[in-house]
A and B are shown apart, each in its own frame.
Chain A
Amino acid sequence: MRLTCPLCGERDLREFTYRGAALARPEGEAWGDDWHDYIHLRDNPAGESREYWAHSTGCAAVLLVTRDTRTHEVLGSALAKGGGA
């Protein structure tokens, strides 16, 4: 799999580190089902998945990547800084 970094261009997977699913952080600090979901529960999609990837040995940017887990097709990538795309 190759990922396209908006700064560096298309790069090999070896330069990247997986940083988890891109999820909406719940509002507020009171414990509830929304926080339980956010911290403990993960989907395991066969298909489109939104994830954070750090370009660790490259430019050090964190990317928001949309990809298909069945085919490894990368559908989009953007800098996570500023909310991604």
Chain B
Amino acid sequence: MPELTLIAQNALPQGVVTTLAGTRIEVLPMRRLTALMPGPDAGPLAEALMAQHGLGLPAPGAVEHAEQAECLWFGMGQYLLVGPAPAPGLAEAATLTDQSDAWATVLLEGPAARDVLARLCPLDLRARAFAPGATARTELAHMAASVTRTGPDGFRVMVFRSMAETLLHELRAALEAVAARGMV
């Protein structure tokens, strides 16, 4: 049998999909994603993350940043390492799963971004409830999603890869509807 090499590929072609009302929908490049699940005691994982990647263990709803790396709180007992390949020490402190091509990642950025997302998602998106830097697991047009606020007008949305086209469709439709109202 010939040797097969499987290569992770982005779920969607990378780049800007739509720009309307100064707000753009952009498919972000695929990055290395690793789910970290430490089990009942997250202490050893917190130590290993700090020692190996210079990252703290994020509190619920928070993101930790280091140079070239991020760690998202990703649900109860779940964390997502974004960017680097996991250091070998992490495997001793948590169960690791490579999820790089399992998620489609889209950036929604511009003055209408918050209004667009508010049409699709039940999160309280006001800055006092969901500040830049915050992250949440939530629902977006009936899809399980991860939403991270990258700035006052920027949101990074992740859904399962199988729903990538649906996500783009929903975002595009909502952006067209918000832009048509001409209030932005």
Contact = CB atoms under 8 A, between A and B. Distances in A.
Given A7-B60, A59-B60, A15 B76 contact: no
B136 interface: yes
A11 B137 CA distance: 11
Interface string A45-85: 00000000000111111000000000000000001000000
Contact of A57 (B76, B124, B129, B137): B137
Given A58-B138, A59-B137, A61-B76, A12 B60 contact: no
Contact of B122 (A7, A14, A59, A79): A14
Contacts of B136: 8, 58
B60 A57 contact: no
Q: Identify whether the interface residues of B are mostly helix, strand, loop, or mixed.
A: loop
A27 interface: no
B101 interface: no
B55 to A, nearest CB: 20
Interface residues of A, number: 15
A33 interface: no
Interface string B94-134: 00000000000000000000000000001110000100000
21 contacts: A7-B60, A7-B76, A8-B61, A8-B137, A9-B61, A10-B124, A11-B122, A11-B123, A12-B123, A15-B122, A15-B138, A15-B139, A56-B144, A57-B144, A58-B137, A58-B139, A59-B75, A59-B137, A60-B76, A60-B78, A61-B76
Interface of A: 7-12, 14-15, 56-61, 79
Interface of B: 60-61, 75-76, 78, 122-124, 129, 136-139, 144-145
